[in-house]
Structure 1
Amino acid sequence: MPDVEQLSQNFENVQRRIMQACEKANRPVESVQLLAVSKTKPIDAVNAIAKLGQTDFGENYLQESLQKITERPDLTWHFIGPIQSNKTKSIAENFAWVHSIDRLKIAERLSRQRPKELPPLHVLLEVNIDNEASKSGFHPDEAQDICEKVLALPNLELRGLMAIPQATDNVEKQHHAFAQMHQLLEHLQKKFPNAQLDTLSMGMSGDLEAAIAEGATIVRIGTDIFGARNYS
């Protein structure tokens, strides 16, 4: 069983960090959404955080997440991990958000497989902002062309961009990568003024302050809420 008291303290600490980062950046705290990344964590831990008022949870692994969604369909579930083609149908049927579209083919499959009775699936384009060979995602120079194609797909609502910059403790480097993402989103907003491109999913436990300073609207926090290790 998870340590509910510790989880509660962790959650309050993260909320405090978000609030302080917003104040420092002169942003309203409601302009930043906390996504609790619950991958590999048991449903009991999800329930404990949900009791504290958290409604949005991020998952990386499909089979594990489907079990949680079955138990808590009242929560808003975001798929944030790599997407294989054979997983798109289940993702399209069960999630409200997908942050990790890294190929046009994946967007096309999600569009085709989204059940008609459900609202459009909110999607983000994953951008490989540091051009790391080990990471998936679109090169920033591809973003405009891909954005135009995804906006034309039915059953999807393109909301913006997601990035996982190269991990670093150098705060200046953190700001630089996030600022590039903000500039790219602003460019796309100007090119596609009728689209609802309002979302920047960026920033995790180690760099949420820099992300918020540079315009993040969703921060994805796992370790600092749930801890680094699985609960036994």
Structure 2
Amino acid sequence: MTSIQQRIDQVRQQIHAAETCYQRAPGSVALLAVSKTWPLEDILAAARAGQACFGENYVQEAVAKIDACPIELEWHFVGHIQSNKSRDIASRFDWVHSIDRLKLARRLSEQRPDPLAPLNICLQVNISGEASKSGLRPDEVLTLAGPISELPRLRLRGLMAIPAPMADFAGQRAMFRQVRELQDRLIAQGLALDTLSMGMSDDLEAAIAEGATLVRIGTAIFGARDYAKIQRGA
């Protein structure tokens, strides 16, 4: 059976190959291991392989892992945020990738404890316009990025997107290109953004080709999830 160490090595090789192919600087694309639904023992196995950043979708599950984790890791919340869970997210995570409301950003700003560094956030863009997905429309991003960037206890780092699945590489690139161009417009308006959180196991290469600085990989590291057996604890 392929180990988590071997899978992480394979993903890192894919990232490095894409960086080389698309003339990205070596090491310019970070790996976020999406560990939702996987036990702490698997996270620690990935940590032993040199992985330090982990993404979680379900608050109660994530907090239990964070509390039990014996080592210091960087925790990213990548799921939809329920208002009644915002305090735990504000106090327990280092990053939030799924900001899609000004009201929510204000809550996180108010609830971030003073002793902690500002909470790194990304605005989630619904770039494909899917009714089933959360996220801001591109025009909403342009309107809200400025006010959100001024909130205390938060640091707006960039954009996150999960485009609709596409089988063809050109179509994948086209979606990610729209996200990059949207971020370029925000930077031109004076916002200091440095993060494009986009690309997963099936479209990693296309995302890197279009400027991703962080790819969110779960299945290729931990394996396929059996959701029928999962208690989400969201």
Tell me the equivalent position of 1:10.
Answer: 7
Following superposition, the deviation at residue 173 of structure 1 comes to 0.9
| Structural mapping, 1:30-179, within 5 Å | 30-72=27-69, 74-179=72-177
The CA distance in 1 between the partners of 2:192 and 2:89, in whole Å, is: 22
Do the aligned partners of 1:159 and 1:199 also contact (CA within 8 Å) in 2? Answer: yes
Picking from 8, 22, 25, the partner of 2:22 is 25
- Segments ≥4 residues shifted beyond 6 Å: none
Report the 3-state secondary structure (helix = DSSP H, G, I; strand = E; otherwise coil) of the residue aligned with 1:35: strand
Following superposition, the deviation at residue 79 of structure 1 comes to 0.1
Specify the code of the residue in structure 2 equivalent to 1:148. Answer: G
Task: Say yes or no: does 1:202 pair with 2:202.
Answer: no
**Greater shift in the superposed pair: 33-42 or 66-75:** 66-75
Do the aligned partners of 1:201 and 1:217 also contact (CA within 8 Å) in 2? Answer: yes
Report the 3-state secondary structure (helix = DSSP H, G, I; strand = E; otherwise coil) of the residue aligned with 2:3: helix
Following superposition, the deviation at residue 199 of structure 1 comes to 0.4
Residue ranges of structure 2 left out of the alignment (5+ in a row) = 230-234
CA-to-aligned-CA distance 1:21-49 (integer Å, 9 cap, x gap):
00001112311000000000000000000
Specify the code of the residue in structure 2 equivalent to 1:168. Answer: M
Specify the code of the residue in structure 1 equivalent to 2:123. Answer: L
Picking from 206, 209, 217, the partner of 2:213 is 217
TM-score under structure 2 length normalisation: 0.94
Do the aligned partners of 1:140 and 1:184 also contact (CA within 8 Å) in 2? Answer: yes
Picking from 184, 199, 202, the partner of 2:182 is 184
The CA distance in 2 between the partners of 1:120 and 1:142, in whole Å, is: 23
CA-to-aligned-CA distance 1:47-92 (integer Å, 9 cap, x gap):
0000011100000000000011112360000000000000100000
The CA distance in 2 between the partners of 1:152 and 1:17, in whole Å, is: 37
Do the aligned partners of 1:18 and 1:29 also contact (CA within 8 Å) in 2? Answer: no
The CA distance in 1 between the partners of 2:132 and 2:22, in whole Å, is: 32
Aligned sequence identity (%): 53
TM-score under structure 1 length normalisation: 0.95
The CA distance in 2 between the partners of 1:62 and 1:29, in whole Å, is: 33
Report the 3-state secondary structure (helix = DSSP H, G, I; strand = E; otherwise coil) of the residue aligned with 2:96: strand
The CA distance in 2 between the partners of 1:69 and 1:28, in whole Å, is: 32
Do the aligned partners of 2:197 and 2:214 also contact (CA within 8 Å) in 1? Answer: yes
Following superposition, the deviation at residue 196 of structure 1 comes to 2.7
Cα root mean square deviation, aligned: 1.4
**Greater shift in the superposed pair: 67-76 or 141-150:** 67-76
